[in-house]
Structure 1
Amino acid sequence: MALTKTDRDILRLMQQDATITLTELAERVGLSPSSVQRRLQKLREDKVILRDVSIVDPKKVGGAVSMLVEVELERDRPELLPPFLRWVTETPEVQEAWGTSGRGDYTLVILAQSVEHFDALADRMMELNPNIRKFTTSVVLKTLKRGLVVPVG
């Protein structure tokens, strides 16, 4: 799908605040509410917009410690990769996960209630995934920027 300037404007505004009304969105992009609604529907159907979510402050709901975890796997046991990937996708504390180059194979962003909570989670990760050779953890001391907005040009 080729995005028009209007589509990009809609995406910018929706990323800032997905609760914006159709009327306000239409006024801001210079279209009718029904035209904006059709464009939003098309953007969702084409999987340009994947989901509309609420962003929650982790400190206000008990998730106060962020960790960056670099995981190195045993490469000679590829049959054990699917369980690790399933663990990553099914573990709610894993906020983000990337396959990476460099020292580790995967980097995980984990949000835990405490260091003790993370320690139990790490024990469970190792127990359920015997192909993990090692992992290193960095505790996030200060969040300088947290963003979900994708630049749309």
Structure 2
Amino acid sequence: MEMDWADNQIINTLQENARTSLDQLAHITGLSSATVQRRVKALRDSDVILREIAVIDPSKVGQRMSFVIMVELERERPDQIDIFVRRAMKDRQVQQCYYVTGEADFCLICTAKDMEDFEKLTHRLFFEDSNVRRFRTSVVMGRKKVGLGVFLDDER
């Protein structure tokens, strides 16, 4: 999909607040509300906009701990990678899962209520999977910046 300055503005604004009204987007871009509506629909239909979600503060809903976990697999075959990814994607405590290069094969961002809850997560994802060679965990001391935004140039 060819995108222009107005599409970039729409994307940037919706990433900051997905509840921004069509009228507000029209004001920002200088386009009519109908044109903005067509553009937003086209961005969704072409999978530029994949989802619109609510961002929750984990500590306010009982998930007081966050972890960055580096996972190394025993065998890095496509079928084994798929099995691991499916397990990670099904687990509600896994917020993000990245297939990476380097010493580890995967980097996971996870939440837990407490250490006991985290231990249950490690058993589900790692100890019950014979293809997991090892995993290394870092406990998040503080959330300084959290986001998934991919902001685009706003130059005309």
TM-score (norm 1): 0.94
In the other structure, the counterpart of 1:22 is 22
Identify unmatched segments of 5+ residues in structure 1. none
- Aligned-residue Cα RMSD (Å) equals 1.4
Deviates more, 1:36-45 or 1:137-146: 137-146
Identify unmatched segments of 5+ residues in structure 2. none
In the other structure, the counterpart of 1:123 is 123
Supply the distance in 2 between the matched residues of 1:39 and 1:76 (Cα, whole angstroms): 41
Q: How far apart are residue 126 of structure 1 and its match?
A: 2.5
Give the paired residue count: 153
TM-score (norm 2): 0.92
Identity of aligned residues (%): 37
Letter in 2 for 1:114: D
Cα-to-partner distance string for 1:104-141 (whole Å, 9 max, x where unaligned): 11110011111110111101212431100111101001
Supply the distance in 1 between the matched residues of 2:2 and 2:76 (Cα, whole angstroms): 42
Supply the distance in 2 between the matched residues of 1:76 and 1:123 (Cα, whole angstroms): 20
Distance 1:78 1:19, change over 3 A: closer
Residues 98 and 108, structure 1, Cα contact 8 Å, conserved in 2 = yes
Letter in 1 for 2:15: Q
DSSP 3-state at the match of 1:98? strand
In the other structure, the counterpart of 2:58 is 58
